[in-house]
Structures are given as C-alpha cells and as structure tokens.
Structure 1
Amino acid sequence: MMVTGIMDDGCPYQVQITGRSDRPVVGSARVRALVEQYTGTPVLLHPLGPLRDLDPGDPQTVLALLRGHSRVVEHRA
C-alpha cells in the first residue's frame, strides 16, 4: 500500500506499507522511526474506534498511526 502525507511540521512523505514486521515501511526514515516508537501502543483504526495495538506487520494499524500523527493525503492498496 502506498501512502502520501504531510507530517505535523509540514514535511511531506511517501511510503510503502509492506505488511512485514521486520520492515513495516519503505521510503521515509521518519515514518519508520514513528512506527518503531509506537509499536505495541493502542491506535484508533477509525475516529470512533476500535482500538488495536500497533503491530508493524499489520498495514491497517500502521495506516491508523499515520492518520493519527500526520495528514494522509492519499493511500492506494
């Protein structure tokens, strides 16, 4: 899944969410660090829930993290 977005400080990014635990994203060291930092913490899959722990091998939770910590402009499966 390709995701394009803008970090809170205005820095744009484009990453591929791989679905692999050993390398959850390709394309941005900042996004990779964000995923590593929040692994195991709860993230909202949608604005009203449900909550799931961030699993770097689960594309849905990685995308939910990006939606919560940046402005996702586009994502393609």
Structure 2
Amino acid sequence: MRVIGTLEDGAAYNVEVTGREDRPVTGSRRVRALVEQYVGKPVLLGPLGPRRPLETGDTEAVVALLRERTRVVEVRQ
C-alpha cells in the first residue's frame, strides 16, 4: 500500500507500507522511525475506534498511525 503525505515540518514523504514485521515501511527513514517509535502503543483505527496496539506487520494500524501523526494526502492500494 502506497501512502503519500507530509510530516509536521512540511517535509513530503512517499512510502510503501509493506506489512512485514522486520520492515513495516520503505521509502522514508523518518516515517520508519515514527512507526518504530509507536510500536505497542494504541492507535485509533477510525474516527470513533476501535483502538488497538500498533504492530509493525499490521498495515491498517500503520496507516492509521500515519493519519494520526502526519498529514496523509493519498493512500493507494
């Protein structure tokens, strides 16, 4: 799944959310570090829930984290 967006400082990113536990995202070290920072912490999957702990192999949770912590412009399947 391809995710395009910007970080808090305005830097653009274009990453592939892989679903692999050893490398959850490719394309941006900063986004990968962000994901690794939140592993095990609860992520809100939708506007009203549910909430579940972030696991690196969970693509839905990784995209939810990016929506929560960055400005996501586009998500492509």
Which TM-score tier does this pair reach, normalised by the shorter chain?
over 0.9
Deviation, structure 1 residue 33: 0.2
- Quote the residue 2:13 is aligned against: 13
Aligned twin of 2:39? 39
Give the whole-Å Cα distance in 1 for the aligned partners of 2:45 and 2:13: 21
Number of residue pairs aligned between Structure 1 and Structure 2? 77
Displacement of 1:46: 0.6
Task: Give the match's secondary structure for 1:8.
Answer: coil
Aligned pairs for 1:56-75 within 5 A: 56-75=56-75
Deviation at 1:47, TM superposition (A): 1.3
Runs ≥4 residues deviating over 6 A = none
Alignment gaps of 5+ in structure 2: none
Q: Which residue of 2 aligns with 1:2?
A: 2
Aligned AA (1:67)? R
Shift of 1:8: 1.1
What's the C-alpha RMSD, in Å, of the aligned pairs?
A: 0.5
Offset of residue 36 of structure 1:
0.5
Percent identity for Structure 1 against Structure 2? 62
Structure 1's unaligned 5+ residue stretches are: none
